[in-house]
Chain A
Amino acid sequence: MGRLFNQMTRGKKKLFAVSALMVMGCLLLLPIFLSITAVAAGGGAPAGGPPADVVAAQKAEGEEGEAEKVEMGRDVYYKTEGPAIGMPAPVTEDNETFYPRYNFESRVLLWVANQQHLYYGSFVLAVPIFCMCIEFAGMVSKDKAMAKKYDQLAYDFIKISLTAYSLTAILGGILIFTFLTLYPAFFGYLSSIFRPVMHIYALTFVAESATLYIYYYGWDKMREGVLKWVHLSMSVILNVIGTVLMFLANSWIAFMMSPAGVDEQGRYLGNIWHVLHTALWNPLNVHRILGNMAFGGGVVAAYAAYRFLSSKTDEERAHYDWMGYIAMSLGVAFLIPLPFAGYWLMREVYAYRQQMGITLMGGLLAWLFIIQATMIGILFLTTNYYLWQALGRMTGGERFQKYIKYLVFILVVGLLVFITPHTIVMTPAELKAMGGQQHPVLGNYGVMSAKNGGINAIIMTTVLSFIWYQRGNRVPTVSWAKFGNIFMGCFFLIGQLNNIWLACYGYFIPANVRIGLSVPQVAGTLSCLLLMTPLNLAMLKNGRQLGPIRWGQIPPRSQYAIIMLATAFTWMMGLMGYIRSSVRLFWHVNEVMRDNSPWAYTHTIGFAANVISFNVLFFWISIMFVFWLGTLGAKKVPVPSPAGQPVPSPQSATGH
């Protein structure tokens, strides 16, 4: 009887806890619902103009014959008519009123503040997504020891991001102060346009913080049974809020590049959805989600690499080797679709404004794109290199290492094509010797058709390296193994041939058809990834194991490769942010609000590269500080290792 009573009490407690968490979750999601309602209603308070009820009253009066009181405007993008209820964009002049300044270039100050906030913002938005995936993997894992390991790893991840979260908020504050201090007119205008969603953004930030803290501090309390699922649901809520937060922030930069919802004078026309949903908003959203994930994976992997290299014991090395591998795999999983998302974004940029696209890809900023291509190449080459090194820690991995040279050839040729510039830097003497601006051989590598072929060849090779890695210490024993191997080989071969053929064919067809060719090229590459990887896993199921993975026994070169990967991510993010921002040239808001500050010119490539490098250095120094903070509270409690995979956890979530 007593036991039954106890069980009932425990059940009630659980029920109460679940109910309380659900209420809490609903409250946290309230701002999002509110924002959706506000957006669906077409706006809330109008920007820089009278409130909605006044507008409605004016409209009603208009119906009674006094319509001339509300001036109508035409949306610069949607071409719809609407009441011009906002103030026009301010026409600024180069003076202290519009552009207060220190004795330094305001644009660079803003650039640094913005970039640092963005780095940390990306990191703290990406890591909870990883945590969600890893925690889920742990929960569904049948192997108890592995489940524990995954859970610990997810906890380690979120712990790193917690300190970074505070820094993100601080940097956000610095960014707003920089805007208010140095660009008051522009910031005033932008906040007048986005006024209906500004507070929603702030509320979403509060909801994000609250969820994150509950998620982190509730880890131990909610580690068993139903509560664990509730805990996982918290991570889902956390990520939903984080994504909404990012979408709102993206809408500001998308508005600056491709304004909508305003007329030619920049007057708000009463439809906040138009202001949010500009031509480039969605491509930017997709690109940023993937970019954040790849970046977050890279940073966590670098953390693991740093801990690996500074480890004193084999156990530590094993743990951080494993952690680095997981983080890098997650990062690379999102890196692979990133070029395709980037391609979509550029396509939309061209569709929005041809001159913007040409400035980016063929004109003023084209050389920066070559640097970007080089960074992308470094990312993929480094990933391959890491996987090849990782083969060395598996018995049987040496079977594949002798073929590395052939993969190197494909990767190098693909990269050479991918980074060949269209506008070649040369002396006048070289120009004369070449007989013109275009080289008859290399000129063909400088255009999109060849570059698509190059990057797809690189990605396909990376997929192949990954499949080799999966097979490192295992041999398929299924009855159809031979057929499977032949099929897989043919699939990759046909995929590459298809890719090369389409890259060549692209020169003989109209541009609009050529752009469409990227679809079968990408389809070939994604097929290799999405079909061959599961096929490989199916073949390896119950396969013969040649030996355990010797975690921790990987050359230090691999860890330097991971650090290089993370640095390349950081540098590329800084570069692409600069490109995206500077494509507006002398506009604060493209074609609506002109930048009349003394810094409304495009920097030289060298100067831009120096500022980007400074940002990268600053970020890495500060994140090292965050990493160091993360180690302060660590308590080392040994966790039993799963059989065959001696990977200990250096610390337990218990007791934090």
Chain B
Amino acid sequence: MTWLKLVEGYMPMQMITELAICILVFSIINYSLKRAGMGLPKFWAGIFVWCFVNLFYLKYRIYPPIPFSVRAIYGTVAACGIFMWVSGSQQEWEEFKRPIINVLDAKTGMTKFIRTALLILLPIGLWGFAYNSFLPSFDEPIELRTVHPAPPATTKVHGKTYVLQTAANPYRVNPEGKYDQAYSNAHIVSQDMGRLMKDVKNPEDNPWDPNAKGYIKHVREGGEIFFQNCHFCHGDNLNGRGLWAFAFNPIPANFTDAGTIAQLQETFVFWRVAKGGIGLPGEGFPWASVMPPWEQHLTVDEIWKVIMFEYWHTGYYPRTWE
């Protein structure tokens, strides 16, 4: 269904709204059919809704494809919801059960045929399921990877120990040179600035401005470091789609996603950049990260600056607790 676009930035709400509209339309159609004396029996209505949501909408409408584990969760919850709906009142429950009871009772030729067919097909289906379960698979095994392993309380970089709970980015400063997250938050990139920032007149907002100084100048320096070292993997849009990205499994982190740096304290990112994949703790099993320990290539100042650039460019704010 590529003709109907999922609009970036609104996709989660769009999905829920589309589902709501679909369910509403089905309700209206069924209501109209009922008025005309041709209403869909509850049993088939329930099965239809479940099939629509799980076998059609979630499988073919949402792109990129949703992994099976999540679809299984959604399918189970949807089935529970449908059960609650069809058995909400005794009358509806009786209506829902009727086709099943009819088949079990097998009082007509058709129901007798269905019952016989089910008696044959169900064991075959179960046999097929069991056969498939035992069939050797050549797929790579599933890895339950911990994306954000817990950081240590402190980390030592270039001989200095940093307490991750309390350390702060020394370049996140206001014009007076004091640490000021609110100031930097007010000067991150925004949609209306345009990609080349031609229209941005305020040097406090534009890192390419020759008069830029303080926080925004450090952002530019961070950007230079990023494009010299990081963008090959993390991409020039910081979305994890760099030139080399697809040589790796898993592909590098997508900083534009709301679930990566936007969820983390700046010091967490500092620790990860400094120590790289090899410095992941035991919890980070199976250590599926090829990121080098950047402390071997960058200075502490450079690491802080590049982190600041990442937040600036994605428009996210680092997590804080105050």
Contact = CB atoms under 8 A, between A and B. Distances in A.
B309 interface: no
B259 A446 contact: yes
Interface in B144-186: 144-153, 164-165, 181, 185
A417 B74 CA distance: 10
Contacts of A389: 88
A283 to B, nearest CB: 15
A434 interface: yes
A504 B84 CA distance: 28
Nearest to A555: B90
A654 interface: no
Given A388-B89, A436-B254, A358 B74 contact: no
A507 B77 contact: no
B146 A363 contact: yes
B33 interface: no
Contacts of B77: 377, 412, 415-416, 419
Interface string B212-244: 000000000000000000000000000011000
A436 B150 contact: no
B283 A359 contact: yes
A426 B148 contact: no
A554 B68 CA distance: 38
A419 B254 CA distance: 22
B185 A510 contact: yes
B66 interface: yes
Contacts of A493: none
A420 interface: yes
Contacts of B142: 425-427
Interface string B122-161: 0000000000000000011111111111111100000000
A434 to B, nearest CB: 5
A427 B67 CA distance: 8
A359 B318 CA distance: 19
B73 interface: yes
Interface string B85-121: 1011111110000000000000000000000000000
Contacts of B259: 422, 438, 443-444, 446-447
Contact of B64 (A367, A391, A423, A435): A435
A128 B286 CA distance: 49
Interface stretch (B6-14, B192-200, B203-211, B297-305): B6-14
A512 B320 contact: yes
B233 to A, nearest CB: 12
B16 A413 contact: yes
A104 interface: no
B308 to A, nearest CB: 14
B36 interface: no
A421 interface: yes
Contact of A440 (B11, B73, B164, B165): B11
B39 interface: no
Interface residues of A, number: 74
B258 A381 contact: no
Nearest to A428: B140
Interface stretch (A31-39, A268-276, A400-408, A622-630): A400-408
Interface residues of B, number: 77
Nearest to A425: B69
A431 B250 contact: yes
A362 interface: yes
Interface string A589-624: 001000000000000010000000000000000000
A112 interface: no
A439 B66 contact: yes
B64 A433 contact: yes
A354 interface: yes
B6 to A, nearest CB: 7
Nearest to B76: A374
A383 B299 CA distance: 57
Contact of A412 (B78, B89, B319): B78
B144 A425 contact: yes
Nearest to B185: A510
Contacts of A216: none
Contacts of A404: 84-85, 88-89
Q: Main secondary structure on chain B at its contact with chain A?
A: loop
B40 interface: no
B146 A423 contact: yes
A512 B251 CA distance: 29
B250 A437 contact: yes
Given A442-B66, A447-B263, A427 B74 contact: no
B65 interface: yes
A440 B257 contact: yes
Interface string A549-564: 0000001010000000
Contact of B81 (A408, A426, A443): A408
A417 B16 CA distance: 10
Contacts of B246: 432
A343 to B, nearest CB: 15
A299 to B, nearest CB: 23
B320 A510 contact: yes
Nearest to A420: B70
Contact of A442 (B70, B91, B283): B70
B19 A413 contact: yes
A512 B181 CA distance: 11
A423 B164 contact: no
Contacts of B1: none
Interface string A435-470: 111111111111100100000000000000000000
Given A415-B77, A439-B64, A447-B263, A363 B148 contact: yes
A72 interface: no
B62 interface: yes
A398 interface: yes
A458 to B, nearest CB: 12
A423 B283 contact: no
Interface centre among A392, A424, A447, A555 (most CB of B within 10 A): A424
B270 interface: no
Contacts of B68: 426-427, 430
A359 B150 contact: yes
B182 to A, nearest CB: 9
B228 to A, nearest CB: 23
Given A353-B153, A412-B77, A512 B258 contact: no
A431 B6 contact: no
Contact of A355 (B70, B151, B185): B151
A411 B144 contact: no
Contacts of B278: none
B12 A444 contact: yes
A58 B152 CA distance: 39
A421 B66 CA distance: 12
B149 A363 contact: yes
A624 to B, nearest CB: 26
A501 B52 CA distance: 28
Contact of A434 (B65, B74, B87, B321): B65
Contact of B147 (A419, A423, A430, A439): A423
Interface string A506-528: 01011110000000000000000
A408 B16 CA distance: 14
A358 B148 contact: yes
Given A355-B153, A363-B150, A443-B259, A428 B89 contact: no
B6 A441 contact: yes
A448 to B, nearest CB: 8
Contacts of B88: 385, 388-389, 401, 404-405, 408
A499 to B, nearest CB: 13
A417 B15 CA distance: 11
A435 B251 contact: yes
A486 interface: no
B283 A364 contact: yes
What are the 4 tightest A-B residue pairs by CB atom distance, in nearest-first order?
Answer: A510-B317, A412-B81, A426-B67, A511-B319
21 contacts: A354-B164, A358-B268, A364-B283, A377-B77, A392-B90, A412-B77, A413-B19, A420-B70, A421-B70, A424-B69, A425-B142, A427-B141, A433-B64, A435-B241, A436-B257, A439-B64, A441-B6, A441-B11, A444-B12, A510-B185, A557-B87
